[in-house]
């Protein structure tokens, strides 16, 4: 599995840095964001290092990501809906260069994207 030794999310995936784990399997880890932007703000992160959503991501990993999003929604009781965001690059404000999906919910988020 591809890892970046300087990457914080690789370290969280390997449990070298603690996090509040919501869901985990062999491909994916999901943990609560340190600076939540909504009542529920969980990050779904593949354990292998990919820079962003435009990387060449194996199909089985994409399937695992969608399953993890579903598991997070169930664990957090997001029955009324939620938003999934993946930032790519400077204009999107990506700060951690390891692919991740923000799962946001727990209140009405409004119709606007941001
Ligand atoms: P982005 O701006 O899309 O790259 O999002 C990175 C997210 O990672 C931000 O929402 C940060 O609050 C979050 N974050 C950074 N370090 C940690 C950490 N150690 N544990 C949990 N969330 C983190
Ligand atoms: Zn990484």
79-99 residue pLDDT tens: 999 999 999 999 999 999 999
Single pTM value for the model = 0.97
> Is 34 buried (19+), middle (13-18) or exposed (0-12) by CB count in 10 A?
exposed
Q: Which of 43, 87, 89 to mutate to test the pocket of ligand 1 (most atoms within 8 A of CB)?
A: 43
- CA torsion sign for 94, 30, 102, 70 is positive
Catalytic residues: 100
For the cut 90, the answer to whether the pLDDT of residue 113 exceeds it is no
Place of tokens 């609560």: 32
* Ligand 1 atom with minimal separation from the 102 CA: 3
Counting from 1 in the atom list of ligand 1, the atom nearest the Cα of 96 is 4
Per-residue pLDDT, averaged over 12-19, amounts to 97
Instruction: Using alpha carbons, select from 93, 89, 114, 100 the residue that is nearest to residue 47.
Output: 100
Counting ligand 1 atoms within 8 A of each CB, the residue from 95, 98, 103 with the most, and so the one to mutate, is: 95
Q: How far does the centroid of ligand 1 lie from the alpha carbon of residue 3, in Å? A: 18
Residues 29-45 have a mean pLDDT of 98
């Amino acid at each position: 599995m591809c890892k970046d030794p300087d990457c914080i999310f690789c370290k969280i995936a390997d449990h070298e840095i603690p996090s509040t784990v919501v869901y985990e399997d062999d491909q994916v880890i999901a943990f609560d964001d340190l600076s939540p932007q909504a009542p529920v703000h969980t990050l779904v992160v593949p354990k292998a290092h990919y820079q962003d959503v435009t990387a060449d991501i194996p199909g089985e990993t994409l399937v695992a990501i969608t399953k993890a999003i579903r598991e997070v929604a169930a664990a957090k009781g997001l029955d009324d809906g939620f938003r999934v965001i993946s930032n790519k690059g400077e204009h999107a404000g990506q700060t951690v260069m390891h692919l991740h999906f923000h799962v946001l919910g727990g209140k009405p988020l409004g119709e606007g994207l941001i």
